[in-house]
Copies of this chain bind each other. A is one copy, B any other.
Amino acid sequence: MNDKERRSMPLFSIGTVMKLTELSARQIRYYEENKLVFPDRTAGNQRLFSFNDVDRLLEIKDLLDKGLNLAGIKLLLEESKGVKEKKVTTKETELTEKELRKILRNELKQPGKLGQSNLRQGELSRFFTNR
């Protein structure tokens, strides 16, 4: 079992994730609905989250606090996820990318804000795993 596997193991119920991230169940499910996280499911269809999922949720929370909207966050997360898939940068994607720039310019002009959560982005996996 390597580290990658460990961090993507489905371990946590939504209740535990709520405490870990201080997000509501509604929020977590809404982010999933918008393709920002992809928790596993039990045989009975209940969500099971991994360390990676929790980290991702903390990141989402952080970016929301900074004024981004979910569409922008999704693009950011996809982008950072690797420069792969560089092939078909369709018009559609181009538009949304332009949108992102606009959003970043428009919304990120009020820097700082506050946005302090119980756990910070990346902290969970740093704490619990070996890299």
Which residues of A are interface residues toward B (Cβ below 8 A)? 1, 6, 11-13, 15-16, 20, 42, 48, 127-130
Work out how many copies of this chain go into the complex: 2
CA distance A15 to B41 in the complex (A): 13
A127 lies within 8 A of B6 (CB): yes
Looking across the interface, which residue of chain B has its beta carbon closest to that of A7? B128
Minimum CB distance partner of A119 in chain B: B1
Taken together as a complex, chains A and B put the C-alpha atoms of A42 and B15 apart, in Å, by 10
Query: Which residues of the partner chain B approach A129 to less than 8 Å between Cβ atoms?
Result: 127-129
Residues of B within 8 A of A16 (CB): 11-13, 48
Once bound together, how far apart are the Cα atoms of A42 and B129, in whole Å? Answer: 25
7 extra interface residue pairs, beta carbon distance < 8 Å, beyond A11-B11, A127-B130 = A6-B127, A11-B12, A11-B16, A12-B12, A13-B13, A127-B129, A129-B129
